[in-house]
Amino acid sequence: MNKPLIQIQRYCVAFSIFIVVNSCHQPVGNEKRHPKRQSYSHAKKDSLIVKKDTLIIPTSDSLSQAYRSLDNYLKNYQIIAQQGAWEPLSPQTLHLAIGDSSNEVFKLKKQLNLLSDLPILDSSIVFDSILKQAVVRFQKRHGLLADGAVGKQTLHFLSVPIQHQINQIKINLQRLKSGVNPSTGDYLVVNIPAFRLYVFQTGKLLWSCKVVVGEAISTKKTVVFNDQIEYIVFSPYWNIPQGIIIQQILPNIQKDKSYLSEYGIEVLDQAGDLIPSSTLNWSMYKTKFPYRLRQKPGKNNALGTVKFMFPNKYAIYLHDTPQKMLFGQSKRSFSHGCIRVQQPFKLAQFLLRKDKRYTQQKILVLMNRQEEQVVMLKRQIPVSIVYYTVWVDRGGVLNFRNDVYRYD
């Protein structure tokens, strides 16, 4: 029985790094433009990476411990590769579930045993409850739906060549090596590959929730950088970027003249004055549009009921969304670059909890008005948008996530 990874599951881990990648949104409308904070070079690959409900922020001591834990996994994976013990699973493994019986079941057992998801390897070819639990463990540490059956995504991760996994670990070790220690105060972290927001109070994880990040397209990727949340906008207008106007809004208006009123979209000139939409010949606009469009506050607003602003040259921010169903997806890269938050009310409460003027009821009222209101924070809160695809959690378990932007 080969279980080279069990021995290192006692390690506790934390990670911290910061990377820069592609820009996405361009500032539009009356959004503040503050390209004031310096991004880090892509070569440094800095980032803070976490697992659901287990992320901890390192001190200088824990950084070295985190590195050792991940490095130990690297050595064990290299042993597996050197022994030639890794065998790719066949397509027949797909859809295997409890109660099935085939030779592929034993191959699956052998692989999960190598990875320490299956503690004891037997020679049975029956997919039993013990194997189901092993599949669930594997799925959880890969951020997959933990149903205990070998679906398409589970088979995809099971089929990743061992050498590729070794290379991924090395890349993330390098990111960890470049890590710096974040604040021990309040701060937010978004890990893009994990599709999660982590909220820290006095340096300790308070809660986390799902997020939607930018699509894996060069112009829509969520940028990795660090900033400070300065203010909250309740019941916000959405100043629609020109790219979205040309690609999505204009074709819809040209098909249906009621589109603007249905979605509460106003037309403004460059001075910010309202223009009656009926005065425009919409059919003449194809690749350029000399006006601005903004969506009024309300139930259809693309930003939902609130946005959290840290003005930057990428025009990226956190915000609510009316498309709640997207949080039910395991892979959540659907936006144009901004970050949609599953629990915006809870986040607003956290950021304003020390300001007695903003009770829960007051925040709810502000989130459901027809008029935009800006609330400045008394103290700016650091936010880090990071990219980490491999890490070891506090329970000593190695985690992988899909390299959604192909940065590995």
- Residue 159 β-bridge partners: none
Pairing mode, strands 373-386 and 390-392: unpaired
Query: How much of the chain exceeds pLDDT 70, in percent?
Result: 83
Structure tokens of 185? 């105060």
Burial, 246: exposed, middle or buried (Cβ in 10 Å; 0-12, 13-18, 19+)?
middle
As a whole number, mean pLDDT of residues 371-376 equals 96
Burial, 186: exposed, middle or buried (Cβ in 10 Å; 0-12, 13-18, 19+)?
buried
Taking the C-alpha atoms of residue 247 and residue 250, their distance in angstroms, rounded to an integer, is 7
Measure CA 162 to chain center.
Answer: 25
Taking the C-alpha atoms of residue 403 and residue 138, their distance in angstroms, rounded to an integer, is 17
Count of CA atoms in the C-beta half-sphere (13 A) of 273: 2
The secondary element (H helix, E strand) that includes residue 392 is: strand 390-392
Q: Is 9 left (phi over 0), alpha (psi -120 to 50) or beta?
A: alpha
Structure tokens of 256? 């249906």
Answer positive or negative: Cα dihedral of 275, 278, 280, 284. Answer: positive
Q: Which residues of 203-217 are buried (b: 16+ CB within 10 A; e: fewer)?
A: eebeebbbbbbbbee
Q: How confident is the model at residue 393 (pLDDT cuts 50, 70, 90)?
A: confident
Taking the C-alpha atoms of residue 291 and residue 218, their distance in angstroms, rounded to an integer, is 26
Q: How confident is the model at residue 3 (pLDDT cuts 50, 70, 90)?
A: very low
pLDDT exceeds 50 at position 71: yes
As a whole number, mean pLDDT of residues 312-325 equals 95
Mean pLDDT for the chain?
84
Taking the C-alpha atoms of residue 144 and residue 7, their distance in angstroms, rounded to an integer, is 25
Nearest Cα to Cα of residue 184 among 167, 198, 204: 204
Structure tokens of 172? 């993330």
**Does the reported pTM lie above 0.85?**
no
Q: How confident is the model at residue 184 (pLDDT cuts 50, 70, 90)?
A: confident
Taking the C-alpha atoms of residue 244 and residue 249, their distance in angstroms, rounded to an integer, is 6
